Amino acid sequence: MAGAAVRVRGLAKSFGATQVLAGLDFDLAPGESLSFLGASGCGKTTVLRILAGACPFEAGEVAVGQGQAVRSLVSQNLGLFPWKTVLGNLTLPLDLAEVDPAEKAQRVEAALSDLGLKGLVDRYPGQLSGGQRQRLALGRALVAQPELLLLDEPFSALDALTREALGIHLAQLWRRLGLTMIIATHSVEEAVFLGQVIAVLGGQPTRAVAVFRNDGPKTAQAFTESHFMELTRKVRLALAEAWGPSANRVGSLQ
């Protein structure tokens, strides 16, 4: 599994009379990670859905890898099927893609051990904790072996500690699997921790008002290192400039 390059030029999208995106541009190298930060309703979800191929757009160019790259989207409410067990949810994408049984067993096994779901195969999503559900959704996205992984507010429903632990786990997986990753979030810390590129979205229609690079380490220690805190401060200021001082606070409550 390798990451796909992403190239977006002049992306435009409106809902009715509201122009959400007008001329959004960005590039990602294979295996890079990008975080989108911005207040609710600024179009983060729309960009991800367009990249996933789940939403039509009016103008612009979107290229992911060489043509039909495999893309997985983890949506904000996860979209797990409550009537399927952990195992059923994990195998469904592979059954639909008619992956052969040996390969299927191997991929599911890998996802179960990568995400620590081994003891939970017979549980239903309703019997899992919030963090376990999140890991299952991530596992279901990863068994398809995507070249581009899209995460929309993946950890927003979790308590702070679980959220941080899952962020660290995700960073490890991203590094090991070498996939390209785009994550939309309200949390400045999460954006800085997970993104090599952090794009602050703002304006009406939405564009990237500030872009930062963070090539620092993505390990548990990173949170307490000075360059991480300094970058977090800069991103927070850019966000405040784009959305007003309360933007991020309001955003993270939602």
Partner 1 sequence: MKVRGAVAFLAFLGLWEAVALFVGDQILPTPGAVGADFWLRLGQKKFYVHLGTSFYRATAGFFLGLGLAIPLGWAMGRLKKLDDFLAPLLFLTYPVPKVLFLPVLLVALGLGEAPKIVLVAVTVGYQVLVVTRDSVVNLDKSYWEAFEAMWPEKRPAMAKSLALTRHVLWPACLPAVATAMRLASGTAVSVLFMAESFATDLGLGFLIVDAWGNLDLPRMFSGILAMGLLGGFFYLLANFTEKTLCPWAKA
93 near partner 1, rule: CB under 8 A? yes
Report the relative pairing of strands 18-28 and 6-15 from DSSP bridges: antiparallel
Q: Which residue, among 125, 136, 10, has the nearest Cα to 63 in the 3D structure?
A: 10
Q: How far is the CB of 138 from partner 1 (least distance, A)?
A: 13
Residue in 35, 45, 46, 75 binding partner 1, rule: CB under 8 A:
75
180 near partner 1, rule: CB under 8 A? no
75-83, 154-162, 223-231, 245-253 -> range binding partner 1 (CB under 8 A): 75-83
210 near partner 1, rule: CB under 8 A? no
Amino acid at 174: W
Unique residue bearing structure tokens 């299952």? 136
By C-beta, is 150 or 208 nearer to partner 1? Answer: 150
67 near partner 1, rule: CB under 8 A? no
Q: How far is the CB of 75 from partner 1 (least distance, A)?
A: 6
Residue in 9, 12, 63, 84 binding partner 1, rule: CB under 8 A:
84
Amino acid at 176: R
Residue in 126, 215, 226, 253 binding partner 1, rule: CB under 8 A:
126
4 near partner 1, rule: CB under 8 A? no
Give the C-alpha separation, 223 to 226, whole Å.
8
Residue in 11, 73, 120, 191 binding partner 1, rule: CB under 8 A:
73
**Beta bridge partner(s), residue 6:** 28, 64
Residues 6+ apart with CB under 8 A from 239: 37, 38, 188, 200, 202, 247, 248
72-80, 109-117, 154-162, 192-200 -> range binding partner 1 (CB under 8 A): 72-80
Q: Do residues 73 and 54 lie in contact, with contact meaning Cβ atoms separated by under 8 Å?
A: yes
Residue in 15, 17, 56, 96 binding partner 1, rule: CB under 8 A:
96
By C-beta, is 16 or 67 nearer to partner 1? Answer: 67
End-to-end CA distance of the chain: 34
By C-beta, is 143 or 235 nearer to partner 1? Answer: 143
Residue 229 burial by CB count (10 A; 0-12/13-18/19+): exposed, middle or buried? Answer: middle
120 near partner 1, rule: CB under 8 A? no
78 near partner 1, rule: CB under 8 A? yes
Residue in 6, 42, 52, 120 binding partner 1, rule: CB under 8 A:
52
Structure tokens at 96: 């639909």
Structure tokens at 235: 């991103």
101 near partner 1, rule: CB under 8 A? no
Give the C-alpha separation, 211 to 235, whole Å.
9
Q: Do residues 113 and 120 lie in contact, with contact meaning Cβ atoms separated by under 8 Å?
A: no
| Residue numbers at the binding site for partner 1 (CB under 8 A) | 52, 54, 68, 71-73, 75, 77-84, 92-93, 96-98, 123-127, 144
